[in-house]
Structure 1
Amino acid sequence: MQWNILASLLLAQHVAGQGGFNMLRFACSQLVVERTDPLVFPGKKYTPHLHQIVGGNSFNITMDPAQDPAEKSTCTSCSFVEDMSNYWTAVMFFKHKNGTFTRVPQTNNGGLVQKGGLDVYYIPQGKVTAFKKGFRMIAGSPSNTDPKAIQGKVCNRCWTNSGEGRGGGGFVGGAPCTGSDSAEIPADPKCKMIRQTVIFPHCWDGKNLDSPDHASHVSYGQFMGANGGGACPTSHPIRLPQIMYELMWNLTSFTDKSQWPTDGTRPFVYSTHSAGPSAHGDYVFGWKGNSLQTAMDARCANNADCPKGGIHFQRPEKYNGCTIPQQAPEKVDGCKC
């Protein structure tokens, strides 16, 4: 499975003295798909582009920083009971030759089970400080047009079969955002899946839980890619767990190139109206109490109960059932929203 490959790659990068390596990797099903964005457009319905949101069911169009999702949520669409955080990204559309759009479905990845949604990683490197109540941040930018600006941070990878790790050349390349991975969404009929990766900054200024651009209070560190991040700059000295999103877009219904656009436009685009560089992820912290810090200190790993860290896995039928109605009601499957 791909997560075993990633874990091996990460382990190889951790030098003696850091005491080994463990990371959380777990599934989150879709809570809702709608045009809201409480970080960039708080209080606004029908924001410029569509998002898929996962996590705690207290998600709302305002997300007042004084309101703790861990206290307000009654369920989570993620597989750890203690995690009421919210995670969201843009969605992907296929553009038909006739100019209409269809939302690309999502699928499971590497043994995790979910309905749509995404996989979340918390990757520590040595001793890390967990996020604080009220913390939020964004990785990437919906207005970005420069592929180089997100190199090693946000990327897409083509898989040539419909199931990762099951033979037929599905898994290619090394760690996320290396090798053939690209900011642009690959446009090749051989691609049966696109794996999208969003890697967040892992260094914090130690003072601000947010910033006007939702990015200046955090920074990337010594290393790019999914490796725990390395040493932090003096301006942002506090090392956080490195968060990574992993999404699997299922292209198997769209591989007939005769149905692709003939006007020079790309067949796959994100809801930001871009074929790749504007991909981004949003994060609002909402773990209960001190549970994330305890889990990181206890070196909890993967997608299972961790008694020594005090976190508990819930079955897919439980977290799959945690949904909320659209707060910006509209059809989202057959439009470029």
Structure 2
Amino acid sequence: MQWATLAAAALFAQNVAAQGSMLRFACSQLVVERVDPLVNPGMKFTPHLHQIVGGNAFNITMDPEADLFAKSSCTSCSFKQDTSNYWTAVMFFKNKAGQYKRVPQTGNGGPQGKLFNDGGLDIYYIPSGKTTAFKKGFRMLAGAAGNTDSSKVKLSNICHRCWTSPNEGTFVGGAPCSGTDTVAIPADTKCKMIRQTIIFPTCWDGKNLDSPNHQDHVAYGQGSGANGGGACPSTHPVKLPQIMYELMWNVTDMSNKADWPTDGSNPFVYSMNIGGSAAHGDYVFGWKDNSLQLAMDNNCNLNGDCPKAGLTKQADSVYSACKKPQQAVESVDGWLKAMPLGEMAIKA
């Protein structure tokens, strides 16, 4: 690791330490399917494909009055007490023949240590000052699935990094959404992985657990990047934990330019058939009782047990075994003639 990289990684860790400890933990893949209970409740075969992690109470409706912890028999996240659901669009690789294949995911390394995932993503909860945990029924959305204009995306909130290391354990670059990170998905044969970061708003209006567009009840603070959020506006005065998704898309076997589209288009695209400008993340709260508030109040750190908050870390073999059958049943693995966009997936 170069000194500049070490310094950047250390600075990120120091900034977080100045705010207090943070939760950072792995969530393995629960299911990959066209279901979106936030944007398209009650619908099977939604317009595009998602990969979902978290509690197995996940379903097509997600009643906001439901206690997800009581309804879940397992969670694909490492903390047993977290049966929240987190989901994102799926990244596809398009080859020169116009066929599509889902890009595989791996766990993440970084200065805080390796996390083990069976697909899925890593979750951060970063507190800053007096932090109020989410309430039962809380949900929100970051990003816009139909956005084709990168200039409409704030780079400090949603970004991609070309990961030139052959493994996720060797840290590349500095703090999230800094340096050479881009809104667009990198298209460079030097990339062995593409790290996607989604940072959610940290300020709440204190009244509404949701809003019609799943965004108006929350707002970003004055901070930038993964710093806990910064000061909140008067319209949204309640400081929330800063949620950050981190995904490692493994493109090692897709880095041969001879396999890429001959028209020069980006071979990497999300499941809406749009690039990085449309990256988005969905969140539905589902922690047990007040365990998340206790975790924030007692400086629970990273992915270890935290008795003061009643948090217990599961073995990776346990949380990775938590799976849920597709509710919108279709085969989305292997090479496809086209991405499942409205029509059913068709094998190549």
Q: Indicate if the aligned counterparts of 2:197 and 2:246 stay in contact, CA closer than 8 A.
A: yes
Q: Helix, strand or coil: the match of 2:252?
A: coil
The separation in 2 between residues aligned to 1:14 and 1:118, in whole angstroms, is: 23
Q: Indicate if the aligned counterparts of 1:145 and 1:278 stay in contact, CA closer than 8 A.
A: yes
Summarize deviations over 1:178-231 as a string: whole Å, max 9, x none.
111111100000100100000000000000000000000000000121110100
Residue type at the aligned position of 1:225: G
4+ residue stretches of structure 1 with deviation over 6 A?
Answer: 1-4
The separation in 2 between residues aligned to 1:308 and 1:260, in whole angstroms, is: 52
Q: Indicate if the aligned counterparts of 1:10 and 1:227 stay in contact, CA closer than 8 A.
A: no
Q: Indicate if the aligned counterparts of 1:11 and 1:21 stay in contact, CA closer than 8 A.
A: no
Q: Percent identity?
A: 63
Alignment of 1:120-269 (within 5 A): 120-150=123-153, 151-166=155-170, 171-172=172-173, 174-269=174-269
Q: Indicate if the aligned counterparts of 1:202 and 1:220 stay in contact, CA closer than 8 A.
A: yes
CA shift, 1:9, in A, is 2.0
Query: 1:298: which partner in 2?
Result: 298
Residue type at the aligned position of 2:280: H
The separation in 2 between residues aligned to 1:181 and 1:323, in whole angstroms, is: 33
The separation in 1 between residues aligned to 2:82 and 2:9, in whole angstroms, is: 23
Summarize deviations over 1:60-99 as a string: whole Å, max 9, x none.
0111111121221111000001001000000110000000
- TM-score w.r.t. the length of structure 2 is 0.91
CA shift, 1:272, in A, is 1.5
**Of 122, 125, 136, the match for 1:119:** 122
The separation in 1 between residues aligned to 2:133 and 2:166, in whole angstroms, is: 36
The separation in 1 between residues aligned to 2:209 and 2:104, in whole angstroms, is: 34
CA shift, 1:175, in A, is 1.0
CA shift, 1:307, in A, is 1.1
Q: Indicate if the aligned counterparts of 2:16 and 2:22 stay in contact, CA closer than 8 A.
A: no
The separation in 2 between residues aligned to 1:60 and 1:43, in whole angstroms, is: 9
Alignment of 1:88-127 (within 5 A): 88-110=87-109, 111-127=114-130
The separation in 1 between residues aligned to 2:168 and 2:38, in whole angstroms, is: 33
Residue type at the aligned position of 2:86: Y
Q: How many residues align?
A: 329
Query: 2:44: which partner in 1?
Result: 45
Backbone CA RMSD of aligned residues: 1.8
Residue type at the aligned position of 1:119: D
